[in-house]
Amino acid sequence: MPDEMKVDVLAVAPHPDDLEIQCGGTLAQLAKLGHTVGMIHMTNGEPTPRGTLERRMAETAEAAKILGVAFHEVLDLPNRELMDTLENRYKLAATLRKYRPRVLMTMYGRTVTASPDHYQAQLLCEAARFYSRLTKWDDRFGGYPPHTIDHLVYIPIMVSAEPLQLQWKFAVDITDTMDQKLAAISAYKSQFDGERAESILHRIRSISGANGGVAGVKYAEIFGADRPVRATDPLSIL
Ligand SMILES: [Zn+2]
């Protein structure tokens, strides 16, 4: 039986820098609160115009360190060609069984003007979450035993050409970790240097600030839940 570990939150996205941009503040906040958080980059993100594999992996490690997460892993699925195939579902489900998260987070929505990998990643995560709990199929998942993931949390893409149909949403106050989020994004110098860095940081501040305005805090990230957020004491979430 392979080594296993258990984590509270596993965040999964196709490219190194996706999670930092979309939910870096929340990942840092969760880690700060003492939760075990892992980041899974489904591909190594290369090739890109200014990146190299070695440089991108160093940036990925630096960003994870800045956010304070317990671990990160880069899977060997193909950048630019990520597809919701059975083989890829098995690979991702094996990773979910290996880390056994209570909560799975993944990007939500189609990036119609950018990489199609993001939507395929959503489909893969939804399928792999289901496959993770199935019995009598361990041979497909490297021998890892079944694991049921309690919650799938959607990270809506920041800018979408179409409305996102998220029925249940919640906001995380990232005011205390906003600087970590910006620093983690800045670690990707192969992707964001000079004007590009200025532009992405401006957009992140603006969007997080606008989300914060809606949520009644300075900066926030907004997520979708797979079912209504429950509370025995409603005041605990108000
Ligand atoms: Zn991406």
Residue 139 CA, ligand 1 centroid: distance in Å:
31
Which tokens belong to 58? Answer: 């160093």
Residue 148 CA, ligand 1 centroid: distance in Å:
27
- In angstroms and rounded to an integer, the radius of gyration of the C-alpha atoms of the chain is 17
Residue 18 CA, ligand 1 centroid: distance in Å:
5
Examine residue 47 and say whether the peptide bond preceding it is cis (omega within 30 degrees of 0): yes
Residue 2 CA, ligand 1 centroid: distance in Å:
30
Residue 202 CA, ligand 1 centroid: distance in Å:
18
Residue 233 CA, ligand 1 centroid: distance in Å:
38
Kindly report the pTM of this predicted structure: 0.95
What are the pLDDT tens digits along the chain (238 aa)?
A: 345 567 999 999 999 999 999 999 999 999 999 999 999 999 999 999 999 999 999 999 999 999 999 999 999 999 999 999 999 999 999 999 999 999 999 999 999 889 999 999 999 999 999 999 999 999 999 999 999 999 999 999 987 888 888 999 999 999 999 999 999 999 999 999 999 999 999 999 999 999 999 999 999 999 999 999 999 999 998 8
Which tokens belong to 7? Answer: 């984590």
Q: Residues within 5 Å of ion ligand 1 by Cβ?
A: 15, 18
pLDDT at 1: 39
Residue 234 CA, ligand 1 centroid: distance in Å:
36
Contact call for residues 118 and 145 (beta carbons, < 8 A): no
Residue 117 CA, ligand 1 centroid: distance in Å:
7
C-alpha to C-alpha distance for 136 and 17, rounded to whole angstroms: 36
Residue 21 CA, ligand 1 centroid: distance in Å:
9
Which pLDDT tens digit goes with each residue over 218-232? 999 999 999 999 999
Residue 125 CA, ligand 1 centroid: distance in Å:
15
Residue 15 CA, ligand 1 centroid: distance in Å:
5
> DSSP assignment of 119-184, as one string?
HHHHHHHHHHHHHHT-SS-GGGGTTPPP---SEEEEEE-SS-SS----SEEEEEE-GGGHHHHHHH
C-alpha to C-alpha distance for 142 and 100, rounded to whole angstroms: 14
Residue 3 CA, ligand 1 centroid: distance in Å:
30
Residue 12 CA, ligand 1 centroid: distance in Å:
11
Residue 168 CA, ligand 1 centroid: distance in Å:
24
